[in-house]
Amino acid sequence: MSNRIAFQGEPGAYSHEACIIARPGMEVLPCRTFEEVIDAVRDGQADLAMLPVENSTYGRVADIHRLLPDSGLHIVDEAFVRVRIALMGLPGTRLEEIRKVRAHLVLIPQARGFLKTHGIVGEAAADSAGAAAELARDKTPGEGVLASELAARIYGLDVLARDIEDNHHNTTRFLVMSPEPDMSRRGDHGMITTFVFQVRNIPAALYKALGGFATNGVNMTKLESYMIDGSFTATQFYADIEGHPEDPNVKLALEELEYFTSTLKILGTYPADKARW
């Protein structure tokens, strides 16, 4: 065992923060892409993967739903990270000296109000933590970065303003993935089961497939559809439900779902994080 958890991005990324929250005792392994994160676990370079799946403001993280079913990995935990945006600059820099900030394209609009008030222009970067590393390296005067405070600590930058996001509820949900499933646990705050399925080509198949959850009292907290194989007629559904497959009502609901589906794959059963509620 390597006692290592892989994530996408540079050190100091919000995914790195999620690793510290969920697995504080593990060494982190930064990767360039989500595919490399998955490969790192499959190849034995890391024991676990930390992958963002959705954001409370921007919705589903692109590509993740497509990657998960074929990853060969299993969800064993979830983690929630409040996206707290810090404006950082070179040591000794004052806020009024900042004329431009760099950050991931998604992060800049989240601090629009603060930037407008202070007359600061935003410029898109491939990665916010990477932008922090570049600022520390290049020492560009008058330039700042929007990123996590963790990035500021890692790269030796001064935090000039904290919590500058317009919406203070903005949260990203992450999934902890492992090569092996763990169905043995029972969480203090309940269990979540995640699965993907395709319905059979019969009238009202989706309605009938989901009916078992209602009649058996199983709460479905997420249902999303997305196209697969570039086809407008091949649709896969991604779902989260409360409960464990061994719970009698969940077992009955899944059996009814399976009757109306052409494929059904459970991606993981794991304790609900207390931050979910």
Q: Do the bridges between strand 27-31 and strand 4-8 make them parallel or antiparallel, or are there none, so unpaired? A: parallel
Give me the phi and psi of 112, to 5 degrees please: -55, -45
Strand partners, 50: 7, 176
CB distance 270 to 182 below 8 Å: yes
Q: Which residues are catalytic?
A: 172, 174
Residue 9 identity: G
The string of DSSP codes covering 44-57 is TS-SEEEEEEEETT
CA–CA separation, 29 vs 5, rounded Å?
6
As a whole number of angstroms, the distance between CA 145 and CA 123 comes to 9
Fill in the DSSP letter of residue 82: E
Residue 269 CA to residue 246 CA, distance in Å, equals 10
Tell me, rounded to whole angstroms, the distance of Cα 158 from its chain centroid: 27
